[in-house]
Structure 1
């Protein structure tokens, strides 16, 4: 069974990739994930705000004349604070694993994106995933301005580093397809569909915002499934599927519509590190059941460009479902 695939120009032994999460902070977890079949691993995001807050706090202690606190820090504070621990994580993970290690970067300014991207490349990451967490809550910000920011970030980082660069996107653009096309033309090496933005809830007893992040469920597969099916074969960039992967069935569905790799974390956090082997073995079983000799045999076979049933992707199918009553209340 040939499970090999390519993502961001990297040769992977299979399409199963561990998406960014705290799991990869532990080197033992990363080794175990590789042993269980993971083909690549995305490290948790480094956030520019965290780096700058750390530096600000150290400099505050120094300015206040706290000699005891100052004794713990080197003379060149800014050079040693901030991304140092993350860069060391990249180095240690690269040394410990044979599979590609992808760093995840979440910046806020042009300088932040480029400076940290450069340091990430120097630390030995095989690629960088840009986690652009831009929630346009400023109602004066236009859709065109939002899209321009994504393109400007990509352009700045691509000018700075030579390793592959992917971008993790949200599904909230007015035209997802056109946005991906624009990024593709700008030279992005891959897109990850989709990012799950933080969405607050309200505690009615305490009357306060609830700050938590729910693990994804398999029902979330449908939106990325639609857009991957639409984009497959129409862009040069690699496509990574993210969200909703709980079993090998979701992995196979994503491959059928044209994904190059399939990312998951929620399933691993629910069931444990060893569940990666369940997904890996399940993928092989699914392919054997369909008499496929390789991942390539099924990839894209049910993309929008490969199927004659375009109505299944478009408005007409929505109308048929409503008129026929074939929907779940």
Structure 2
């Protein structure tokens, strides 16, 4: 059985990709994930704030003429701005494994991204994932302004590097399909659907904001399923499914609607990096039971363009569910 797939122009041995998380900070974990079947790994995101803070610190030292502190920076500082540990992580990960290692940039504006993207490419990243973590809470900001920011970031990074660039998107656009098409035409090599924004809760006893991490669950698969099904076959870029992957069942569903690869982090954080083997073996078993010879035999068979009942993806589905009573309380 041929489980190979193409993602961002890269040939992967199977569709299982580790999405960005702290797990990949440990090179031992990176090696084990490869051994357990991962076909590629997205390193944890480096944040725009981290890059800017280090730039600010360097500029402060220069302004103060602090020659002793300044001596700790490399001779060609303009070529090495940004948190060095992340660049070292890219190098070490590339040396440790044979599978592609994808760097991740997390930010809200073009500032600081372009030079750092170049350094990530030089450090050996196989591709770059742009995680534009931007909530438009400024009430004066229009939808067009928000969308323009995404395009500006993408085009700036694409001009700076020669490796593939993907966009990790949230579903919070008034016309998500149009936004993806716009970014596709602007040169995005792929899309990760979807990013999960971590909104705060409130502690009523302390009257303080609670910032905690809620891992995804399989019930969250439905929104990405719908949009991947709608986009499959209609864009040039690759499609990575993300969110809600807990078992091989979710992986297979994502492949059926047209995903090129399927990403997971929550399952690995719940069960440990060795759980990648469980996902891999479960995927192999499912495909064998279906007598699948290659992934293209099932990929996209349940996409919006492939099914006869297109209305099942749209509003009529909502109406039918309500009238039939086929819903969970």
Give yes or no for TM over 0.5. Answer: yes
Q: Is the 8 A contact 2:215 2:266 kept in 1?
A: yes
Structure 1 partner of 2:252: 252
Q: Give the number of aligned pairs.
A: 328
**Contact 2:173–2:179 at 8 Å: present in 1 too?**
yes
Is 1:36–1:276's contact at 8 Å kept on the other side of the alignment? Answer: yes
Whether the 8 Å CA contact 2:251–2:262 is kept in 1: the answer is yes
Distance 1:52 1:153 in 2: 16
- Matched position secondary structure for 1:110: coil
Deviation at 1:71, TM superposition (A): 8.6
- Residue of structure 2 equivalent to 1:198: 198
User: Where does residue 291 of structure 1 map in the other structure?
Assistant: 291
For residues 121-166 of structure 1, give each alpha carbon's deviation from its aligned partner in whole angstroms, at most 9, with x where no partner exists.
Answer: 1111110000101110001111111111111111111111111010
Match of 1:149 in 2: 149
CA–CA distance in 2 between the matches of 1:71 and 1:103?
Answer: 28
1:88 maps to what in 2? Answer: 88
Does the C-alpha gap of structure 1 residues 213 and 164 become closer, same or farther in structure 2, counting only changes over 3 Å? same
Aligned to 2:50: 50
Determine the C-alpha separation between the residues in 1 that align with 2:302 and 2:285. 19
Question: What does residue 281 of structure 1 align with?
Answer: 281
Q: Deviations over 1:271-298 (max 9, x none)?
A: 0111000000000111112121122111
1:112 positional shift: 1.2
Instruction: Say if 1:268 and 1:275, in contact at 8 Å, map to a contact too.
Output: yes
1:59-118 Cα offsets, whole Å, 9 max, x none, are 667878999x83983476955663311111111111111000100012344241211111
Change in 2 beyond 3 A, CA 1:160/1:61: closer
TM-score normalised by L of structure 1: 0.94
1:70 aligns with 2:80: no
Q: Secondary structure at the match of 2:43?
A: strand
C-alpha distance in 2 between matches for 1:75 and 1:247 = 46
Deviates more, 1:307-316 or 1:236-245: 307-316
Q: Distance between the aligned counterparts of 2:128 and 2:65, measured in 1?
A: 39
For the residue of structure 1 that corresponds to 2:162, the secondary structure is coil
- Normalised to the residue count of structure 2, the TM-score between the two structures is 0.94
Pairwise CA RMSD: 2.0
- How far does residue 261 in structure 1 lie from its aligned partner after superposition? 0.1
Q: Does 1:220 align with 2:200?
A: no
User: Partner residue of 1:171?
Assistant: 171
Matches within 5 A, 1:96-111: 96-111=96-111
Question: Matches of 2:66 and 2:165 in 1, distance apart?
Answer: 42
- Contact 1:15 1:261 survives alignment (8 Å): yes
Q: Which residue of 1 is the match for residue 138 of structure 2?
A: 138
Q: Is the 8 A contact 2:8 2:164 kept in 1?
A: yes
Shift in Å at residue 186 of structure 1?
Answer: 1.1
| Contact 1:83-1:116 within 8 A present in 2 as well | no
Secondary structure, aligned partner of 2:41: strand
3-state secondary structure, aligned to 1:44: coil
Partner of 1:322: 322
State how far apart, in whole Å, the 2-side matches of 1:157 and 1:71 are: 29
Seen in structure 2, the aligned counterparts of structure 1 residues 132 and 265 have a Cα distance that, compared at 3 Å, is same
Unaligned runs of 5+ in 2: none
Asked if 1 retains the 8 angstrom alpha-carbon contact of 2:4 and 2:13, the reply is yes
